[in-house]
């Protein structure tokens, strides 16, 4: 289904696709709604997650460009940096991770995996995304002056090339749901660096699907995200010779808590519900907050009773082991 539109872009097949698309039977009964889950926590590479789909295209583009080193930037427990470290190593490209935070003598979670995957690490003593990006740009320029061919990845790998991973994911969701006689009305997921939602919106434009894509913010506020997602979706669509509608960009920031990675009671309750009823693990940073919104939408009847809702599990469960 419309897969040929992506065929001109070089791609690594790190992701094991398609990922499962399943009905959450017990949660559907509890919430009195038809809830389905796209299991992108099971993308099958370096413990999986949505960033694997982005890196399929990003590493393909890095190889095409002749890069001999990749720089990737993120928090000290970045899911994206963990998978970038593994992807670069498998593709035969050196990886330098620039991580916001201080080094640990006993690394855990994603930081431990960064070491295992053999990335070179540089730490940035700041919690500000803008500072991370600036340091990444400066360091990449330094490497280029030393004669390196650098392929720089921003936070979350959220570039038009990276967003193609979720154009592909959207087409996959439509194919899986429709082949099972299910018409999805709403897609809901955690949104942060804009790439996942931008790709989904472009997929919607390609197919003409009439449903809603709702991004549940976990860090930035709604006005900032609306602008970032629309710009990235527009740039991605332009590569494909199509346009997107600004009205398709929907963000809710009511469930993000006090700050990025700040725990909320609703998030903790959502994690327990998914674990106890479906055996599915969510995390405190991304999917738990998005699921808290999903549950609240059902309880407040924002979702109609006859709606079919697809919740995208974007991974991140390594966070539980920090």
Helices (H), the chain: 25-31, 50-65, 79-91, 109-116, 129-145, 160-179, 195-207, 222-239, 265-278, 287-299
How do 69-75 and 94-100 pair as beta strands? parallel
* Pick from 218, 145, 191, 167: nearest CA to 54: 167
CB atoms within 10 A of CB 222: 15
Q: What gap in Å lies between CA 166 and CA 54, rounded to an integer?
A: 7
| Separation of first and last alpha carbons in the chain | 40
CB atoms within 10 A of CB 210: 8
Under a CB-based contact definition with an 8 Å cutoff, are residues 200 and 166 in contact?
A: yes
How do 21-23 and 34-39 pair as beta strands? antiparallel
Active-site annotation holds for 78: yes
Residue 181, C-beta contacts closer than 8 angstroms, at least 6 positions apart: none
145: three-class secondary structure by DSSP: helix
Q: Look up residue 142 and give its DSSP letter.
A: H
Q: Do you know the residue count of the chain?
A: 322
Q: What gap in Å lies between CA 15 and CA 18, rounded to an integer?
A: 8
Enumerate the β-bridge partners of residue 214: 188, 250
Q: Which of 15, 75, 78, 192 is catalytic?
A: 78
> Which residue carries 């809603």 as its tokens?
212
Residue 83, C-beta contacts closer than 8 angstroms, at least 6 positions apart: 14, 45, 46, 47, 49, 51, 52, 55
**Which residues are marked as active site?**
78
């Amino acid at each position: 289904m419309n897969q040929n539109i992506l065929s001109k872009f070089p791609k690594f097949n790190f992701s094991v696709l398609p990922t499962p698309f399943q009905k959450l039977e017990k949660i559907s009964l509890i919430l009195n709604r038809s809830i389905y889950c796209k299991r992108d926590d099971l993308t099958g590479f370096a413990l999986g997650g949505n960033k694997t789909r982005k890196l399929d295209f990003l590493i393909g583009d890095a190889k095409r460009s002749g890069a001999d080193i990749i720089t990737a930037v993120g928090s000290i427990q970045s899911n994206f940096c963990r998978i970038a470290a593994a992807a670069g190593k498998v593709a035969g490209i050196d990886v330098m991770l620039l991580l916001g935070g201080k080094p640990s003598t006993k690394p855990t979670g994603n930081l431990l995996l960064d070491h295992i995957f053999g990335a070179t690490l540089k730490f940035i003593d700041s919690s500000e995304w803008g500072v991370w990006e600036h340091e990444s740009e400066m360091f990449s320029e330094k490497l280029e002056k030393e004669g390196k061919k650098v392929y720089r990845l921003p936070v979350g790998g959220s570039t038009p090339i990276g967003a193609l991973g979720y154009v592909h994911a959207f087409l996959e969701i439509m194919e899986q749901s429709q082949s099972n006689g299910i018409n999805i009305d709403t897609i809901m997921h955690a949104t942060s660096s804009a790439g996942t939602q931008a790709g989904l919106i472009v997929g919607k434009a390609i197919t003409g699907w009439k449903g809603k894509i709702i991004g549940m913010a976990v860090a930035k506020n709604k006005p900032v995200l609306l602008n970032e997602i629309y710009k990235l979706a527009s740039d991605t669509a332009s590569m494909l010779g199509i346009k997107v509608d600004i009205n398709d960009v929907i963000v809710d920031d009511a469930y993000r808590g006090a700050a990025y990675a700040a725990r909320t009671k609703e998030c903790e309750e959502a994690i327990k519900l998914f674990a106890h009823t479906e055996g599915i693990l969510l995390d405190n940073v991304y999917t738990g907050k998005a699921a808290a919104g999903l549950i609240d939408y059902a309880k407040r009847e924002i979702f109609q009773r006859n709606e079919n809702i697809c919740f995208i599990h974007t991974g991140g469960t390594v966070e539980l082991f920090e």
